[in-house]
A and B are shown apart, each in its own frame.
Chain A
Amino acid sequence: MSDCPHSIDAGAWVLRALPDDEATHFAMHLRGCDRCTAEVARLQLVADALPMVAEQIEPPPALKLAVMDIVKAEAARRPNAARSRAPFARLGELLRRRPVWSAGLAAVAAAAIAVVALTSFDDNGPNATTIQAKLPTLRNAAGRLIVAGDMASVHVSGMPAPGPGRVYQVWIERPAGTYVPTDALFTVSRAGSATVQVPGGVRDAENVLITAEPEGGSQAPTSKPVFIAAAHA
């Protein structure tokens, strides 16, 4: 038990029983008091268990319908908004966590990406552009981005499997240096090849990236990119 005189407030704090002014003061105190911080952490475990004291009661089915009506309506209205806000909000965290990659990415991409040739895009006619990608950590792999208008697809070969419990995820890098996740999650064939559409296209993209992420994908990259391609020739 903490011997700080303020620790008497720890219990009321975790139960949200301190009046607002006292709660503000205690929050400021916590920033500089390791003993009270530890005390709060210990008591918070009990506070988190207190809901179990309540007798368990089924909510009415109509409540779920009401909640899901709102959720589905909002999901239909903002299919991309929810996707794009989160990575922007977490960008600062990402940059702090991975300063080397983040700082060097633009330079790496600019130096390494080469535009090779005009070729055909499978489903979009003859005006497609093939952009060779840089695969900085994969010596025996190759990759390219095929762009036609705003549409794009990623083509890789010779890539290793992403590893147990991991998938490859396609990212859009915006000109401001922000990374927007896509739903394009994939693994490769035994030969190491895969072809993946870039969801939403590349209208606002500067680069298209691929990283290995935990299954289900991530909201911010958690590993260095294995594929970097300019989104426009």
Chain B
Amino acid sequence: MDLRTLADEDLMQLVRRGDSRAFECVYDRHSTAAFSLAYRMVGSRPAAEEVVQEAFVSLWRSGARYDRGRGSVRTWVLGIVHNRAIDSLRRSVVHDKRRASDEGIEERFAATERTDTEVARRDEAREVQAAMRGLPADQSRAIELAYFGGFSHSEIASMLDTPIGTVKGRIRLGLEKMRGELSGFDPGKELA
């Protein structure tokens, strides 16, 4: 059986049983998105590699906890990476020096579009990026700092010299607007 033809959810059934080949397929499918997210958040390749390694090893060890009823494997993987990256940031002494925007990243290794699936994902990414760019600057900044920066609303309020309630409101309004722009969009749908 060619494992590469299996859906993510079926691969996870095998991962639960300790099938390392199935796990390798999951890694191959999602490691680029995982590394990109980690890199965007922590801002350096060594730190991103550490986050992604921790996340995937955690995923391997906790595969039995994946519940398809709560979202796709991709969403689950990226959620683990996001949490690990936030943990990494919050224990880092250089948190406040890290960039939350994508400017200034020195090393770039753009992923190549190898398959139709990746091309489709790239198109979807452009939609999400456009929706983000369409937000008022104060809303997109608050979302950037919260999601990619790993900052709490109180930290963001302090950085922007803005009341906490205003920061909460900007985050929520920004997400609501993006929701409207992305109606019908399913980030977790199976493309493989």
Q: Is the CB of B36 within 8 A of A18?
A: no
Docked Cα-Cα span, A175 to B17, in Å, equals: 21
Summarize A's interface: helix, strand, loop or mixed. helix
Q: Of all chain A residues, which has the CB nearest B151?
A: A17
Q: Is the CB of A15 within 8 A of B187?
A: no
User: CB within 8 A of A49: which of B35, B173, B185?
Assistant: B185
| Residue B71 CB within 8 A of the other chain | yes
Q: Of all chain B residues, which has the CB nearest A59?
A: B35
Q: Is the CB of B128 within 8 A of A52?
A: yes
Docked Cα-Cα span, A81 to B16, in Å, equals: 10
Beyond A43-B179, A52-B125, A63-B52, whether A15 also contacts B146 by CB under 8 A is: yes
Contact mask A55-69 → B, CB, 8 Å, 1/0? 111111001101110
Min CB distance A199 to B, Å, is 11
Contact mask B144-181 → A, CB, 8 Å, 1/0? 00111011111010000000010111011111101100
Residues of chain A in range 23-76 having any CB-CB distance to chain B below 8 Å: 42-43, 45-60, 63-64, 66-68, 70-72, 74-75
> Which residues from chain B contact A79 at a C-beta distance below 8 Å?
18
Min CB distance B186 to A, Å, is 7
User: CB within 8 A of A64: which of B27, B61, B81?
Assistant: B27
> Which residues from chain A contact B93 at a C-beta distance below 8 Å?
none
> What is the total number of residues of chain B having a CB less than 8 Å from a CB of chain A?
81
Summarize B's interface: helix, strand, loop or mixed. helix
Min CB distance B8 to A, Å, is 12
Q: Is the CB of A70 within 8 A of B175?
A: no
Classify chain A's interface size: 35 or more
Contact mask B1-27 → A, CB, 8 Å, 1/0? 000001000100110111110011001
Q: Is the CB of A72 within 8 A of B143?
A: no
> Which residues from chain A contact B40 at a C-beta distance below 8 Å?
53-55
> Which residues from chain B contact A81 at a C-beta distance below 8 Å?
18
Q: Of all chain A residues, which has the CB nearest B177?
A: A46
Beyond A51-B82, A54-B148, whether A67 also contacts B27 by CB under 8 A is: yes
> Which residues from chain A contact B182 at a C-beta distance below 8 Å?
45-46, 49
User: CB within 8 A of A59: which of B17, B49, B153, B168?
Assistant: B49
Beyond A17-B171, A67-B53, A79-B18, whether A54 also contacts B13 by CB under 8 A is: no
Beyond A11-B171, A63-B35, whether A53 also contacts B153 by CB under 8 A is: no
Min CB distance A40 to B, Å, is 10
Min CB distance A208 to B, Å, is 18
Docked Cα-Cα span, A50 to B188, in Å, equals: 11
> Which residues from chain A contact B169 at a C-beta distance below 8 Å?
8
Q: Is the CB of B165 within 8 A of A8?
A: yes
Q: Of all chain A residues, which has the CB nearest B118?
A: A56
5 A-B pairs within 8 Å (CB atoms) are namely A12-B153, A48-B75, A56-B122, A63-B52, A82-B63
